[in-house]
Amino acid sequence: MNEIELIDYLTEGFPIRHNNVIKGIGDDCSVWKEDDEYRVFTTDSMVEGDHFLKDWFTAEEIGMRAVETNLSDIASMGAIPTFLYVSLIIDDRTSPEWLGDLYKGIRSKCDEHKLTLMGGNVTHGKTLSITIGVQGDSKSMPVYRNGAREGDLVVVTGTIGDACVARMVLNKKKQIPDALKDRLAHPRARIREASVIAKFASAMIDISDGIASEARHIASQSNLGVVIDADSIPTRMQVKELALIAGIDVLEAQMRGGEDYELMFTISPDKFEELKNEYHLHSQIGITPIGKMIAEKKYVYLKNSVEATLPKGFDHFSSNINL
């Protein structure tokens, strides 16, 4: 089973027992309503060897990264993060001093985003694992994956493929430019950007598992198809140059790699100019249309006007290009 199939298999038959629950399993966050506000919650784990190596990042960087990657899910709903939970599985090779530095990173993100650390758990195991849970709030209805409409543009923030290419080069034991290492070591949840985008978007998701995976999620949950224009995907010149030297296919990294933690969203074409005008008052991070939603239920991309099927994207239980 792949990741989605396993989740469906494990959670089948679990009912929603509370009337204020709006969204359970199947989006970036669960959602429920309290009085006039919406609450969102997400949780994610980072395991040493799969998600990070101590040789690549300092303990403080790993702590910051663990928090930011979860905040990206909160951003994708258009919500503001409020509460944080941390659970650790600690192995025999990890010292209290290293953990102290880990929590310095976590604390810095709590300070930056005004998060309150509410609790968690600590236990022992054979592999170091860090699990973060984050709650967020929104006064307006969160943006889900399933709201895209036929004819909507598919748009992304920032540049895509930076983190995956950086990781693949590190896997080859080669040096990478500081700017690209920063994109891998210090992802930044697009919370400020999402607060503007959420006013206009019909659907939204964060790019944690590659363009192909996220586009498929929006299309399938919106009961539509999607066409991605591969030539429109925003790409750093540094990434192109480094990939050429290291023998890496940039498009494959963008489609299947993930870890950029940018946003992908859909929007009606007649709202895009209005969004751009407001968006650029709040952020210098670019937004780029890279495709459109279509009625025919197919998931494809165009490269030099040649159509091909979108790959499946990153999956924790399949072969992946960046592990």
Q: pTM, whole model, 2 decimals?
A: 0.93
The superfamily CATH assigns to domain 3-138 is PurM-like, N-terminal domain (3.30.1330.10)
| Nearest residue to 162 via CA among 66, 229, 262 | 262
Instruction: Please give the order of strands across the beta sheet that includes 37-47.
Output: 21-23, 30-34, 37-47, 129-138, 80-90, 116-124
Q: Which residue has the tokens 């040649």?
A: 306
Is a pLDDT exceeding 80 seen at residue 318?
Answer: no
Cβ density class 154-175: b for 16+ within 10 Å, e for less = bbbbbbbbbbbbbbbbbeeeee
Is a pLDDT exceeding 70 seen at residue 319?
Answer: no
Domain 145-309 in the same topology as domain 3-138? no
- Tens digits of per-residue pLDDT, 240-271? 999 998 999 999 999 998 899 999 999 999 99
- Tens digits of per-residue pLDDT, 46-71? 999 888 889 889 999 999 999 999 99
**What are the domain boundaries of the chain?**
3-138, 145-309
- As a three-state string, the secondary structure of 151-219 is CCEEEEECCCCHHHHHHHHHHCCCCCCHHHHHHHHCCCCCHHHHHHHCCCCCEEEEECCCHHHHHHHHH
Distance CA 323, CA 308 (A): 25
SS3 75: helix
Q: Does domain 145-309 have CATH number 3.50.50.60?
A: no
| Nearest residue to 259 via CA among 161, 180, 171 | 161
